[in-house]
Structure 1
């Protein structure tokens, strides 16, 4: 039996913590069935405010930077860039924290955790039961990815820095999470979730962020389609080699050419 650890710091988030606990209790077996991946034990969710997200994200980026640059002979300019990344991550989290759905991090041993900002979910209309379920299924799928690879592939590397539209690790992770949600959420709710994007667009900041991220959303749609075609062709057992075999992630151009990537999956 998988243990659940939902941490909250304020009385205001106690009700949401109970909702998260109840939904994940139902979601874990559905996600394991659909993906063929075991959920981490424990499944960890932390309800934080924007400052809590900024602190956790900055610490995570610091750990990732240390891992990604270990043994590298960096130039002075590169060392300055690297040393600035944790503080830049803190600043970014403060600025866009209220527009995020959830944030996945991993500790130094590769154990995943999902960070949620209750006020951000409420502001975006994501605290409604069906929408929250769909979101948590995606978050849980990403936790299974992290557990499967021990944190070596997902979350993706932060150095060298990569534009979001070219960050294959993250694009593929989100694509797999969305595919998982499309398959598993109806098993939990008894019906698919209709995403009401119009309601979320009432948040002006979110609308601007979504507009700027249009290219990323298109790439993630390609990644979701790639996952769907790959699993339909070879099944989850062969597909899941991607989390444990080095060099098996699709290249950026393979998001447009699913057949060529599927041929690379080991038997």
Structure 2
């Protein structure tokens, strides 16, 4: 299947990387589909400066909180949190804008798009590294494919209740770990060989912002992502992509925190019942 690629350049810069990004996406999308077994009919990207990114990020959060709180009876405190938190989170992202990574946003029908802050990537050194650019874009393609397959069942991650939005929530670990596994697996295929570990040319501002007190959890977060990527690798090896991909539309199949550390337990819980043929989708067992 051929993915329809849309790269909308909203930076207004003459030296925008839009053409390079479109070329990489065109080459990478079929490989992502081959590796994951997921289908991505359309991939839409918006290239922005960080101020435009932060505003779109805020608008998406407002919509996500409105969507995810439908049907909840919110008390006064929770209503205030839902009203104020999207703006506070957007201000935090703006404060550390050189650290911005691509963000998947959706409309109310869960049609996804990716926002990229091009100037943030420049400070991170991503734009001057072919391997890093391929890696980031393959991660983002995985996010789009997850949301397309899930339509809100598992991806994108829910923002309410607040426990679901926590960085350590199993669904978030699965989403981020799967994207990391995709990039690790597919980048060497697209590049035609191992990409290696390249040291990025970080700007002084990026290095300063990365040392701010409220960003020091990044190392712990990356360890969680790496562990979740290892889980996906072992789970796919154990049951195949067709059966693994049932997780995107069956929340009961999301691994528990324990299963993320012990993939064999997840494989055992989701294995077909004895005496039944192994179908294309997993059936959840008792959690």
Question: TM (normalized to structure 1)?
Answer: 0.92
Q: Which secondary structure does the structure 1 equivalent of 2:139 belong to?
A: helix
RMSD: 1.9
Indicate conservation of the 8 Å contact 2:125/2:203, yes or no.
no
Corresponding residue for residue 178 of structure 2: 176
In the TM superposition, what is the alpha-carbon distance from 1:152 to its structure 2 partner? 3.2
2:25 corresponding residue in structure 1: 24
What's 2:56 paired with?
Answer: 56
**In structure 2, distance between residues paired with 1:71 and 1:171:** 26
Please say if 1:261 is aligned against 2:263.
Answer: no
Q: What displacement does 1:228 show?
A: 0.5
Number of aligned residues: 266
CA shift for structure 1 position 13: 6.1
**Does the 8 Å contact 2:5/2:43 carry over to 1?**
yes
Contact 2:5-2:42 at 8 Å conserved across structures: yes
Q: Quick check: 200-209 or 220-229, which moved more?
A: 200-209
**Residues 129-179 of structure 1: per-residue CA shift (max 9 Å, x gap):** 221011101110111001000133212011122474422222211110111
Question: Are the equivalent residues in 1 in contact too, given 2:25–2:137 (CA < 8 A)?
Answer: yes
Shift in CA distance, 66/37, structure 1 to aligned 2, threshold 3 Å: same
Aligned 1:116-265 pairs, distance under 5 A: 116-127=116-127, 128-162=129-163, 164-196=166-198, 199-200=201-202, 203-208=207-212, 211-265=216-270
What residue ranges of structure 2 are gaps of 5+ in the alignment?
271-281
Q: How does 1:99-114 map to 2 (within 5 A)?
A: 99-114=99-114
| SS of residue paired to 1:63 | helix
Which structure has more helix as a fraction of its residues? 1
SS in 1 for 2:104: strand
Relative to the length of structure 2, the TM-score reads 0.86
Q: Secondary structure at the match of 2:250?
A: coil
The alpha-carbon distance between structure 1 residues 210 and 75, as it changes in their structure 2 partners (threshold 3 A), is closer
Per the TM alignment, residue 93 of structure 1 is displaced from its structure 2 partner at its CA by 2.4
Larger-gyration structure (1/2): 2
Deviations 1:242-266 (A, max 9, x none): 0012321112222112111122332
Shift of 1:97: 2.5
Query: CA, structure 1 residues 244+235, in 2 after alignment: closer, same or farther (shift >3 Å)?
Result: same
Cα distance, 1:83 vs structure 2:
1.0
